[in-house]
């Protein structure tokens, strides 16, 4: 009983520490400048004001930045699924020479940070005149070693007899992959989708490298436009813009939370 109380207390304390910055950001987004820079520390705004949210949309093209983020994340996720699912299926349900070597290379690829390959990728895109395009934001991420690994673990938990029966019914390997295998691992696909979208929605590094056109800015880069070297950051609209940018991620995660946990649990069953 004491152990359970200690565990619950630790979880509540941890959740509180994690949520305080978000609550403070939300509180500042509803305060006016006088209240934000007041010496008194008030967690709740004295008056709820939407002026910061109106300024966030009028000062910069925040809607354009959100659309750019959605286009980039959707493009990356579609291609990652297109490549990762068949590759993971072949590694688990097909027998061919070099299969273990390929899987070893996938595991090795997980250890290589993206930043290591940033300069060669930038030079290649520059050579192809693809800088300042959606292509430059999407192409470097169309393959995902983590996606192959996660789907491979999920497919390994499925019975091979299921796929043998599908072959006896005359289905091609392509049809088995997309019509039978993928629907059976939807929790893993949901978990991977959340990881992918959150990672690329919040990515500032690559957008700063390959684009200089403000019309191609993604949400994290768009937030930077609220900074001013002379007058300082415009705190209220900055916090309002940040709330708007992270809101789709929070709503999406809450809606897919159950499948997300199932996907991670399934991926840990097979070695």
Taking only the tens place, the pLDDT of each residue in 246-268 is 998 888 888 887 777 776 666 55
What per-residue confidence (pLDDT) applies to 159? Answer: 87
Q: How confident is the model at residue 56 (pLDDT cuts 50, 70, 90)?
A: confident
What per-residue confidence (pLDDT) applies to 48? Answer: 83
What per-residue confidence (pLDDT) applies to 226? Answer: 81
Whether 108 shows a pLDDT value over 90: the answer reads yes
Report the percent of the chain where pLDDT is more than 70: 94
What per-residue confidence (pLDDT) applies to 230? Answer: 62
Whether 88 shows a pLDDT value over 70: the answer reads yes
Q: What is the pLDDT of residues 206-247, one digit of tens each?
A: 999 999 888 999 999 988 888 766 656 678 888 999 999 999
* Mean pLDDT for the stretch of residues 19-28: 90
What per-residue confidence (pLDDT) applies to 151? Answer: 93
Which pairs from 24-32 meet CB under 8 Å and 24+ separation? Answer: 25/239, 25/242, 25/243, 26/239, 26/243, 28/235, 28/236, 28/239, 29/53, 29/236, 29/239, 29/240, 29/242, 29/243, 31/236, 32/236
Whether 72 shows a pLDDT value over 80: the answer reads yes
What per-residue confidence (pLDDT) applies to 75? Answer: 96
pTM: 0.85
Whether 271 shows a pLDDT value over 60: the answer reads no
Going from the C-alpha of 6 to that of each of 10, 15, 18, the distances in angstroms are 6, 14, 18
The Cα–Cα gap between 132 and 212 comes to 6
What per-residue confidence (pLDDT) applies to 269? Answer: 52
* Mean pLDDT for the stretch of residues 41-45: 82
Whether 5 shows a pLDDT value over 90: the answer reads no
């Amino acid at each position: 009983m004491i152990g359970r109380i200690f565990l619950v207390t630790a979880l509540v304390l941890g959740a509180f520490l994690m949520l305080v910055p978000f609550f403070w950001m939300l509180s500042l987004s509803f305060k006016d400048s006088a209240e934000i820079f007041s010496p008194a520390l008030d967690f709740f705004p004295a008056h709820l004001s939407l002026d910061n949210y109106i300024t966030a949309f009028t000062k910069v093209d925040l809607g354009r930045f959100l659309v750019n983020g959605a286009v980039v994340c959707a493009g990356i996720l579609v291609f990652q699924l297109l490549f990762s699912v068949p590759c993971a299926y072949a590694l688990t349900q097909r027998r061919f020479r070099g299969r273990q070597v390929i899987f070893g290379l996938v595991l090795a690829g997980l250890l290589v940070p993206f930043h290591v390959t940033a300069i060669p990728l930038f030079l290649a895109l520059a050579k192809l005149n693809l800088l300042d395009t959606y292509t430059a934001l999407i192409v470097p991420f169309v393959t995902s070693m983590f996606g192959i690994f996660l789907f491979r673990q999920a497919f390994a938990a499925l019975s091979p007899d299921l796929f043998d029966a599908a072959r006896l019914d005359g289905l091609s390997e392509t049809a088995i992959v997309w019509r039978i295998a993928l629907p059976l691992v939807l929790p893993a696909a949901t978990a991977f989708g959340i990881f992918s979208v959150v990672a690329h929605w919040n990515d500032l590094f690559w957008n700063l490298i390959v684009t200089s056109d403000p019309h191609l800015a993604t949400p994290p880069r768009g937030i930077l436009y609220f900074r001013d070297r002379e007058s300082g950051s415009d705190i209220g609209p900055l916090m309002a813009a940040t709330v708007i940018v992270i809101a789709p991620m929070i709503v999406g995660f809450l809606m897919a939370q159950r499948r997300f946990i199932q996907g991670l649990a399934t991926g840990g069953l097979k070695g």
